[in-house]
Structure 1
Amino acid sequence: MSPLHPALARFLAAVRAAGRPPFQDLTPAEARAAYAAGRPLLQSPPEDVADVRDITIPGPGGPLTLRIYRGGGCDDAGPQPCLLFLHGGGWVIGDLDSHDGLCRRLANAARCRVVAVDYRLAPEHPFPAALDDAAAALRWLACEAGTIGIDPARLAIGGDSAGGNLAAVLALMGRDGTLPATAFQLLFYPVLDATMASASYARVTEGVPLTAATMRYFADHYLPAGLDRTDWRVSPLRAASLAGTPPAFVLTVAQDPLADEGRDYAARLEAEGVRVTALHVSDQIHGMLMMGQVLPVGAPVARFAAAVLRDCWDSPGGV
């Protein structure tokens, strides 16, 4: 195992000394409360954006809330590029507020609109509820692009962790024609193989907030008993082909049970003819982009990802 960043090592030592229980020892309600309580201690103050507002659209399970950001430098006079963002949290925790800071940073750095989705959470709403909500949001954005100032030819999808899982699946569905096609996929330490068979699951078992046991806790709440976990709708790494999906940015971190599947996904994308920028950070943990008070490096990593996305939108033939 590669060594941790010194600031991160000190933080994790403090967490252990405080005796904070892992998520898998909590009920979903307790896990959500603990995740929300940690946000002020971990995240940097949110950046100002040009505009932010919540709207409600029809969803497959009832009204679905979207939060629309307009980043600084994003012109409001004509159709603008847009990132549909799906938050992480193991499909069990997280919401619009937990990822508000990251969405603001991406909107500003990519000079675009970001639309975040408040999809339904497990275990109250197991698979495929989150995926159905994400798909409904993408369909709505593509249909209503003109009325909300979005260029449908420059519509990207992205997310972190479980949200990265949903984004990768939407990219495949867009490739296959069951959803509108998208221009880019922005995947931050995504969940890509629900079989949990990679070597990093055996490697990352203690000492960090997201261990193999934590991931199993989340997946067991999200995936109904008896579901085939090789189904590409929960394990996009298991899809027969990734060819024809949009260009990608894939962030992986070494101290993460998801590290190997993310690196394998990036390698498959490249081998199957998809343009991909893969960034692997060896001294970081899952969730690094949400830990600005502890890890200042998260902000430049997010800005780099946004720059790759913006370059795709701006390059002739990029989309």
Structure 2
Amino acid sequence: MSFKRWLSLSMAAMFLFFFAFCASAADYTIKVGTIQPESHPDCVLMREVFQKYVEENSGGRIKVELYPNAQMGGDREMAEAVQLGILQMALPVTSITASFEKSFNVVELPYLFTTRESAFEALDGELGKELDKRLLKTGMMNLGYFENGFRHITNNKRPIYSPEDLKGLKIRTMEVPPHIAFFKELGANPTPMSFGELYTALQQGTVDGQENPIVLIHDSRFYEVQKYCSLTGHVFSVVHILTNKSFIDNLPSELQEVVKEGARRFVARHREVMPQEEEELIVELQNKGMKINDLTPEQKKPFVEAAHAIYEQFKGEIGEDIIALAEKVAK
């Protein structure tokens, strides 16, 4: 064997040993699951902020592994995996968490929040703390609230300026009771359907439209199969860092704080990025041919009235006390 060949093999062996040693040096692994693609702010900031901070500040004792693109399943499956301790962390919308703790459906009440500022003030404050406390009994805990953005309506028939414009339209919604009730109140025909089937359903005209935040409308390429986008902003889509309580509790105290601080930094940066991202994507959607219309406060008024008309019917399911608290702090 030549000296160069021997040297090359020796160097390769040293690198393999080094990386194997680094991998084994981690005492704990945090697997993070999300349905979002790698280019989405959730994934980008999870890598650039959370993963970097936790791995560096734990001295290599914690390794963070990110699984985007629903590799670990949908939001529901990942939340179940977190509850069972199979997955250490997931980034689901709060409507999924409501499957485990019904009081989280309070966040899904239309027009509860009308600005990001009021939403995060409530979620960082009394409302969020109460929801977090109730979540603990499920074996899970929340490490911070962030967003998908306000939900808006797209369709192929006409721009939406009033509830009358929605009459008879078949609108795909999530299987979230307050969302379904709201669209029924507006006179639309809400049609729950899995997100994976939605593009084809819009393309084939199975449904006339759908409602989602701008980032999802863009990333899902709905501009290819939808003509109108109306900025109704009817629900603020909240996401949070869901983790297994036992996993966090069993970390040494100094590592618990590293993980929690990493989560705080991720949330803070995410909240800075999303408003600008949304503004840029609205322009991009227009450039791709979508007709986008905003609504004045006066035009939104009948939508808000229709929303508040359904609050009463959810007091039993969500809890009268948590709805009263939410309405108080959301002002």
The question of a shared fold, defined as TM-score above 0.5 by the shorter chain, is answered with no
TM-score using structure 2 length: 0.27
Query: TM-score scaled to structure 1, two decimals?
Result: 0.28
